[in-house]
Structure 1
């Protein structure tokens, strides 16, 4: 089981460690599976909260990613109190992993269950707030003098809260404008991967419809003919099928709200875990949709940039032989 290529957490100073339950990992597995096996008398919600509250240390470092790979011999601690650790969080929270960074932009890999930007609730942790904190810490460490509220980052596009994967943020308004204003010319590829219920009738194909948002339910509605809505085009290819589920790659030609989720549902194969659009099961405990790759022309250098996270291990586990 492969480790993340970047640091996955921050060491906790010895003087600040609190007492907790200590374990030695016996076999390769994922973090959440291991926690469930060791916390059998506790609810799944309680076990998951240990991750969200930062109470898990692996080899002395905080880990919040439920699908983090554990190896035989790793040491694991479930801290009794996470707050003593949280004061000492360092470079980045594992809920958002920086894949690429330069003076103009950041490409990040967002975990599921993390909003791109706040809905207005005070203290809400979002990809935006985590990355804002990161660039401000970097500026402070470099000794740069900045105005109050600076430096900032700027939203270029969004991912749904429960969708994981690649997302671009700009470091200045000019970069944001260049990316957004020339979106169709700059963004060359956006591919997602999903676990869907059932098997698509055709192994590959294209879905086209016109989408409108219901102002009361905030649910998107779809029409096969032009009804004044926004045209949405999605290409798909089935990678594998097993046990009543399929692993499907989706490529966006347009980028509308909930587009893939709607088109998957219209195919009779809703994304697993997507109760909103008709899913009847939730085998992974999350919306099984991940923004796997993105390719674009750099807004300043015009260099071709391409990033690919690969298919999430937890998705592939449903189709392993």
Structure 2
């Protein structure tokens, strides 16, 4: 894979003799049918420098397939400058450390004040023709690492990696009380709470949800547990609901029974994300520094355990 201006070149290297172009794009690169349709409609595919529109030619070893992935795109997100904490960035993706108290994205047209607005401004100022494409989200009062794709192919590949549990997200929470086991898995399904517009709850009719946890430290005098958590699924409020369901709500999480006097908001931080780079295959193990308010708890933990 090689970047050539606004195009990305993929040399054809097959174990067999040849593949039709569509099959090559899907099997060898990981593109979706929607990607291919969009590229064809916008004359964004070349084979050996020749633009391909309706044809589906055979490609073979030694051929070159080029995709116009860095095209200028319109975005409905309003750019709004604010300083970003960038943990990783290249031409294909960006990972940010989201501050607490900021929504990930707007919920209505022309809304500002979100991380997406700040990222749109970053793209604009740095001359990048990218839409804001979030791969997952964090609650407004959860801080930490969050991944965005910079073009449609990267989004397709990262979405599939997330779906296949190949993007590993590690969280740290300060939970009230002492968990019954030092290490375990919570597998309770999560659904809406019909008595509350925002809150979720454990429900037999809910969506499957799996949270793995490990207690890093129990603070006996404060009756608090510092817990490392990893998600197999990404349900709304999943960690918050699961910890509350076992009697250990997150400190500061009033919605699920947490004490606001311990922490000014829910004490939950997305501390690390592991990604296999969608284009280069490089293993990226990205850490997000903890906010200041976490420091009084993190001094009890060896961060290498996270």
TM-score, L = length of structure 1: 0.63
Q: 1:193 aligns with which of 167, 172, 195?
A: 172
Tell me whether 1:219 sits opposite 2:202 in the alignment: no
1:122-201 equivalences in 2 (<5 Å): 122-139=110-127, 150-185=129-164, 187-201=166-180
Give the distance between the partners of 1:311 and 1:136, measured in 2 at CA.
28
Tell me whether 1:232 sits opposite 2:209 in the alignment: yes
Whether contact under 8 Å (2:168, 2:230) holds in the other structure is yes
* 1:43-102, Cα deviation, whole Å (9 max, x unpaired): xxxxxxxxxxxxxxxxxxxxxxxxxxxxxxxxxxxxxxxxxxxxxxxx9734x3111111
How many residues matched?
218
Mark the CA change 1:151 to 1:202 in structure 2 (over 3 Å): closer, same or farther: closer
Larger Rg: 2
Give the distance between the partners of 1:100 and 1:319, measured in 2 at CA.
23
Shift, 1:233, TM fit: 0.9
What's the Cα RMSD here? Answer: 2.2
Whether contact under 8 Å (2:144, 2:290) holds in the other structure is no
Shift, 1:253, TM fit: 1.7
1:10-89 equivalences in 2 (<5 Å): none
Give the distance between the partners of 2:206 and 2:117, measured in 1 at CA.
32
Match of 1:93 in 2: 82
Mark the CA change 1:268 to 1:121 in structure 2 (over 3 Å): closer, same or farther: farther
Whether contact under 8 Å (1:114, 1:127) holds in the other structure is yes
Match of 2:234 in 1: 255
Give the distance between the partners of 1:258 and 1:186, measured in 2 at CA.
18
Shift, 1:257, TM fit: 1.0
Give the distance between the partners of 1:296 and 1:123, measured in 2 at CA.
30
Whether contact under 8 Å (2:178, 2:224) holds in the other structure is yes
Q: 2:264 aligns with which of 280, 285, 288?
A: 285
Mark the CA change 1:121 to 1:153 in structure 2 (over 3 Å): closer, same or farther: closer
Shift, 1:121, TM fit: 6.8
Match of 1:267 in 2: 246
Mark the CA change 1:123 to 1:233 in structure 2 (over 3 Å): closer, same or farther: closer
Mind listing any 5+ residue stretches in structure 1 that lack a counterpart? Answer: 1-90, 145-149
Whether contact under 8 Å (2:87, 2:287) holds in the other structure is no
Shift, 1:244, TM fit: 1.8
Mark the CA change 1:197 to 1:151 in structure 2 (over 3 Å): closer, same or farther: same
Whether contact under 8 Å (2:165, 2:232) holds in the other structure is no
Give the distance between the partners of 2:166 and 2:287, measured in 1 at CA.
14
Whether contact under 8 Å (1:186, 1:298) holds in the other structure is no
Mind listing any 5+ residue stretches in structure 2 that lack a counterpart? Answer: 1-79, 301-306
Match of 1:116 in 2: 104
Shift, 1:205, TM fit: 1.1
Q: What secondary structure does 1:231 align onto?
A: coil
Give the distance between the partners of 1:261 and 1:210, measured in 2 at CA.
13
Shift, 1:188, TM fit: 3.8
Shift, 1:124, TM fit: 2.2
Shift, 1:251, TM fit: 1.1
Give the distance between the partners of 2:280 and 2:174, measured in 1 at CA.
36
Q: What secondary structure does 2:188 align onto?
A: strand
Q: What secondary structure does 1:176 align onto?
A: helix
* 1:167-197, Cα deviation, whole Å (9 max, x unpaired): 0011112211221133233634211001111
